[in-house]
Amino acid sequence: MENLIIVESPTKARTLSRFLGDKYKIEASMGHVRDLPKSKIGVDVENNFEPQYVIPRDKRKIVERLKDVAGKVGKVILATDPDREGEAIAWHVSQIAESKKQKLDKFNRIVFHEITKEAVESALKNPRTIDLKLVDAQQARRILDRLVGYKLSPLLWFKVRRGLSAGRVQSVALRLIVEREREIEAFKPEEYWSIEALLRKVSKVAKGSKVAQDKESFSAFLVQRDGEKIEIKNKKEADSIVKDLESSEYKVEKVEKREVKRSPYPPYTTSTLTQNAANHFGWTSKKTMKIAQDLYEEGLITYHRTDSFNIAQTAIEAVRGFIQETYGNKYLPVKPNFYKTKSKVAQEAHESIRPTNVRVQTSDSKDQKAGISEDLGRDHHKLYEMVWKRFVSCQMSNALFEQTSVDIKAKVYLFRATGSEVIFDGWLRVGNGLKVIGDSEEEKEGQKLPTLTVDEILDLLELLPDQHFTEPPPRYTEASLIKTLEKYGIGRPSTYAPIISTILERQYVEKENRAILPTPIGVAVSDFLVKNFPKVIEVKFTARMEDNLDEIADGKKEWVPVIKEFYVPFSAHLAQVSKEADRVKIEVEKTDEKCDQGHALVVRYGPYGKFLACEKYPEHKFTKPFETEEWKKKEEELEKLKMKCPKCGSEVVLKKSRRGRIFYGCSSYPKCKWGSWKLPSPPVDNKPIV
């Protein structure tokens, strides 16, 4: 009798069918088949927090099909993703498909961390039962989040503003963002100055004459005066020092050279992958995870939700062979490079993110996409290439640099020049021969210094005093926020992207370029929660709750006592806050613009994002779009074209979608529903080309 394999997505099903053929029937569950209801809390707090699962309306046909097919096969093999979420999906599928004819022992669970023929066939030879500890951990997280969300949200409606909601982990992320903004607002910059000397090597060919020997200049910075670290606080002091230095001789006092090893970065985890994609491509974590999901389901990379640096032995052997063949023995370390996972809660059974086949590469040329399906877009190639470079480089030899430090005396002042030169590029050979994408937002190469000797006299070309101000801590970006969440133990690989996308969608935060800053609504919500529920959104408390969920997954704790320990005091405190807490006022940002009656316009937030409204709202309901730089630019382009709607002849205007994306639409909407994402071409015979 034929056996059935159930996975989450059609893409994953297609990939499996490529190498399993018609040995198995393969169906997709399209994600979760059961969930808590949307219309009510769905958790019986009086009966050990029993969840009341329902089948969503859009999943009913899928569930009926799965039940029907499961009844006609010998075995049902649950091949959902290798994490708690995947384990929970497998369990829910087994629950809805089980019947008197189909006992639970009919269901086998298999896991694999890469969708390759070898990995899947190995998993099929080693089936197991569903791990209920992992299911309990996922269920506990879902119930905790539901209890907090459904209990706090009505309170926010009453005390802050209608339509608001609160999440257990998202509220902590919001708190971090609000606190960072307050640090920035409270920061008082202090002035300081630096002095750079632009110097050049010279040689004395005749007494009293100097001829340039090496015209390549280099920079040195003033670091000491009279043997003490120098601090220059204002322009007057800087000008005085410059005047003193202009008549000075510049003599090399000390030259130090040392060889420095630079080790490769470890392979990617979810956190570092999303951080790098944000820093180098400007992608959101949500976009990165979607593209990584596609690459995983196509069988190109290992599972992308992981916090482990582990690499399978077969993959290590394969990449070492590739490095030796491609780059030579000197690029191959004597032993494989191993990396210790920093996260104390990392699931070591998981692997890091790597290519499933190191010999499948992409080309830097946009016209050549070797080794990857043409059906995948350019962004998929970019992310795959980033993963490939990081993985190959992590098993290559250290790069070697010669670092030079030169102290230069000028009267009572000491300048220092530093430089570095590559002796052996090692792992840096991968990717343009210079760099491979690393974990820092910027990686600066040191200057190359000329050969200098002690007591050598240098030629001063220019003194460059420069004013600086101390800077506040930077606003969080998606990359730095994920790094901070991971550092504090908040969230797990599967939750980083949803945490950020949720607070953005709720308009609690917004982005300026890549920086994340809180909106007035976000500040009001965070302040209310911090004041009235300090423990619930406290960083350490949230991290401890994550630890509790990990211990449930490991079988060290039961899920019901963990939730009860949280919910009983939370519920009592909630009742008290409902009675005693004051209502919070949302601060509005006034602008210089006026409405048609002369009142000030203020920034407000609606379903489509920011807009300007009369300060007298709701008495006066005047509104107008909030003009971002992108809006103004598109408006200017539109004005030049003098566009008319191709459908009805009305004026073409800018509009904003529910997701905040700007598009071109008809001013006669809703009578005319013409619209276009792209800027229409100039009119031809009075008709625009779209």
Report, as residue numbers or ranges, the catalytic residues.
303
User: Per-residue DSSP letters for 543-573?
Assistant: HHHHHHHHHHHTTSS-HHHHHHHHHHHHHHH
- The CA-atom distances, in angstroms, between 374 and each of 5, 50, 260, 370, 380 are 27, 48, 43, 9, 10
How many other CB atoms are there within 10 angstroms of residue 623's CB atom?
15
* Alpha helix segments (H runs only) across 212-269: 235-246
Residues 521 and 602: beta-carbon distance below 8 Å: no
The β-bridge partners of 416 are 221, 407
Nearest-5° Cα angle at 81, 76 to 85: 105
Nearest-5° Cα angle at 418, 412 to 423: 150
User: Per-residue DSSP letters for 340-372?
Assistant: ----TT--TTS--B-BS-TT----SSTT--TTS
Residues 169 and 152: beta-carbon distance below 8 Å: no
SS3 419: strand
Dihedral sign, Cα of residue 487, residue 490, residue 493, residue 497: negative
Pairing of strands 76-78, 107-109: parallel
Cα–Cα distance measured from residue 28 to residue 7, given in angstroms and rounded to the nearest whole number: 5
Cα–Cα distance measured from residue 477 to residue 440, given in angstroms and rounded to the nearest whole number: 13
For residue 641, give the nearest of 678, 681, 676, 690 by alpha carbon.
Answer: 681
Dihedral sign, Cα of residue 559, residue 562, residue 566, residue 569: positive
Residues 79 and 5: beta-carbon distance below 8 Å: yes
